């Protein structure tokens, strides 16, 4: 029998919901490119319910314990005395999320003698030392495409919020004011601007498709260039590198994975090549942007605004400067864990577990590392290496 260790974010401070604003969510048949949604044999949850927090348990307990397996669910993931660290020693499977990541560093992988499978409940497996997983010969899998459109929608929302300076206007209402001049002194129209996407995978392409009706000029850079038909349909301008695209754009949206070559990609030098007063939106990974360089750019006016849904480490310490820097639209990592997305990634985790427990092949699209090498989506989107360095600072949030 297997021991499955599942790390999920904490329940709402008011407790697990007893009711929800909506009675149902749309029943999608497939993803936009035709890829099938998760296909587990069965689910033990209601789509649209809160599944991603501790009490939700991804709807896995009945399934796993009914087969005699052990399921440990915790939010306590950081530091040597955490539940995660103690239970990891003899765990066969670890399930974690990008939003509340249990960082599988080289040190932790060395302690996890039985660990054979790491599952990301979502997309983006950079919280796993992929080189360490390769060396260990284990499997890393994620639920590809489960929340890509959720994130793409969040990107469009963030771009509009920055350009129209929505957040300060909302705050004036909360304060009881009617300060129109204050509200609009930094507000513009998105129409006619040039928007560039760093990467055009499932999320990046989803963003570009959703921005086309706004009558903006669309640019992108990508390791795997899009088909000519897609470029023509969306009127896209392709750039072979980020540097050539930045000076042309009023808005940049970051949609690439985190791996060693993209770590701290947006530093002082690269940001200096952007238009003065441009906007930067990052829903990919916090570590792609160098923390203090973003603060400096906002304070100097090189950036007019920064909206990020991702931080490093996560959860971010309470004194993280992105919480207090000017002209930001930061959120805790929520874009990919809407109630709609949770139904898909919970079903995908169950599908992966069913395959693994029954010794059936895991869907190729879900694979990041398999049999000691990058595989599936991992071979397409990642490079071997480790991007978990510095993750021990997540303990500061717990101590704070």
User: Do 199 and 265 contact (CB within 8 A), yes or no?
Assistant: no
Over its C-alpha atoms, the chain yields an Rg (Å, rounded) of 21
Among the listed residues 36, 32, 168, 146, the one whose alpha carbon sits nearest the alpha carbon of residue 99: 146
Does 3-146+337-376+383-399 match 148-323 in CATH topology? yes
Which ranges in the chain belong to alpha helices (H)? 61-66, 83-88, 106-111, 130-136, 148-163, 166-174, 180-184, 202-211, 228-234, 242-245, 268-271, 291-300, 339-357, 376-381, 395-399
Predicted pLDDT at 392: 86
Q: Could you report the per-residue pLDDT of 278-307, keeping only the tens digit for each?
A: 999 999 999 999 999 999 999 999 999 999
Half-sphere exposure of 367 (CA within 13 A, CB side): 18
Q: Could you report the per-residue pLDDT of 142-159, keeping only the tens digit for each?
A: 999 999 999 999 999 999
Predicted pLDDT at 396: 82
Q: Could you report the per-residue pLDDT of 70-88, keeping only the tens digit for each?
A: 999 999 999 999 999 999 9
Q: What is the DSSP-derived secondary structure letter of residue 30?
A: B
b/e per residue, 229-262, with b = 16+ CB within 10 A? eebeebebeebeebeebbeebbbbbbbbbbbeeb
Is the predicted pLDDT of residue 249 greater than 80, yes or no?
yes
Predicted pLDDT at 124: 95
Once rounded to an integer, what is the mean pLDDT over residues 366-375? 95
∠ Cα 279 317 399 (to 5°): 175
| 315 prior amide bond cis, ω within 30 | yes
Is the predicted pLDDT of residue 275 greater than 90, yes or no?
yes
Give the residue numbers annotated as catalytic, written as ranges. Answer: 147, 285, 314, 333
Is the predicted pLDDT of residue 226 greater than 80, yes or no?
yes
Is the predicted pLDDT of residue 178 greater than 70, yes or no?
yes
Return the SS3 of 239: strand
Is the predicted pLDDT of residue 13 greater than 80, yes or no?
yes
Return the SS3 of 104: strand
Once rounded to an integer, what is the mean pLDDT over residues 343-359? 98
Among the listed residues 7, 18, 123, the one whose alpha carbon sits nearest the alpha carbon of residue 57: 7
Predicted pLDDT at 367: 98
Give pTM, 2 decimals.
Answer: 0.96
**3-146+337-376+383-399 CATH pick, 3.40.50.720, 3.30.420.40, 3.90.1150.10, 1.10.3720.10:** 3.40.50.720
What is the percentage of the chain residues whose pLDDT exceeds 90?
Answer: 96
How far, rounded to the nearest angstrom, does the alpha carbon of residue 296 sit from its chain's CA centroid? 24
Q: Which long-range contacts (CB under 8 A, 24 or more apart) does 173-180 make?
A: none
User: How many whole angstroms separate alpha carbon 43 and alpha carbon 248?
Assistant: 48
User: How many whole angstroms separate alpha carbon 215 and alpha carbon 192?
Assistant: 6
pLDDT band at 400 (very low <50, low <70, confident <90, very high): low
Domain 148-323, second-level architecture: 3-Layer(aba) Sandwich (3.40)
User: How many whole angstroms separate alpha carbon 228 and alpha carbon 152?
Assistant: 22
Q: What is the DSSP-derived secondary structure letter of residue 286?
A: G
Q: What is the mean pLDDT of the chain?
A: 96
Q: What is the DSSP-derived secondary structure letter of residue 213?
A: G
Question: Beta strand 367-370 with 373-374: parallel, antiparallel or unpaired?
Answer: antiparallel
Report CA-CA distances (Å) from 66 to 3, 114, 174, 203, 354. 13, 22, 50, 36, 13
Predicted pLDDT at 351: 98
What is the percentage of the chain residues whose pLDDT exceeds 70?
Answer: 100
The residue among 383 and 161 whose pLDDT is bigger is 161
Lowest mean pLDDT among 90-99, 191-200, 320-329, 388-397: 388-397
Tokens of 203: 């999320």
Structural domain spans, the chain:
3-146+337-376+383-399, 148-323
């Amino acid at each position: 029998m297997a021991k499955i260790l599942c790390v999920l974010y904490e329940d709402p401070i008011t407790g697990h919901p007893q009711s929800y604003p909506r009675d149902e969510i749309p029943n999608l048949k497939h993803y936009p490119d035709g890829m099938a949604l998760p296909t587990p044999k069965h689910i033990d949850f209601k789509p649209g319910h809160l599944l991603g927090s501790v009490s939700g348990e991804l709807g896995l307990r009945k399934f796993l314990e009914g087969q005699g397996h052990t399921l440990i669910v915790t939010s306590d993931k950081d530091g040597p005395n955490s539940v995660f660290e103690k239970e990891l020693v003899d765990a066969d499977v670890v399930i974690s999320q990008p939003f509340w990541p249990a960082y599988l560093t080289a040190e932790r992988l060395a302690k996890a003698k039985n660990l054979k499978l790491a599952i990301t409940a979502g997309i983006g497996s950079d919280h796993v030392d992929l080189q360490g997983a390769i060396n260990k010969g284990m499997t890393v899998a994620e639920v590809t495409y489960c929340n890509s459109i959720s994130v793409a929608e969040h990107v469009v929302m963030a771009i509009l919020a920055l350009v129209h300076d929505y957040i300060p206007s909302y705050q004036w209402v909360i304060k009881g004011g009617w300060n129109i001049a204050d509200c609009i002194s930094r507000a513009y129209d998105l129409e006619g601007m040039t928007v560039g996407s760093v990467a055009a995978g499932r999320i990046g392409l989803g963003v570009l498709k959703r921005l086309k009706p706004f009558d903006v000029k669309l640019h992108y850079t990508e390791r795997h260039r899009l088909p000519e038909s897609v470029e023509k349909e969306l009127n896209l301008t392709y750039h072979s590198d980020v540097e050539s695209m930045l000076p042309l754009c009023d808005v940049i949206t970051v949609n690439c994975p985190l791996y060693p070559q993209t770590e701290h990609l947006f530093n002082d030098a690269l940001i200096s090549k952007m238009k003065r007063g441009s906007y930067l939106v990052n829903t990919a990974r916090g570590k792609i942007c160098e923390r203090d360089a973003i603060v400096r750019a906002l304070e100097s006016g090189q950036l007019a605004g920064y909206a990020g849904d991702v931080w490093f480490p996560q959860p971010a310490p309470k004194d993280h400067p992105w919480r207090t820097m000017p002209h930001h639209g930061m959120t805790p990592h929520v874009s990919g864990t809407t109630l709609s997305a949770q139904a898909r990634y919970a079903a995908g985790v169950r599908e992966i577990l069913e395959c693994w427990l029954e010794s059936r092949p895991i869907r190729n699209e879900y694979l990041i590392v398999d049999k000691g090498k990058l595989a599936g989506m991992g071979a397409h989107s990642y490079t071997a290496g480790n991007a978990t360095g510095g993750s021990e600072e997540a303990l500061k949030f717990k101590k704070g």
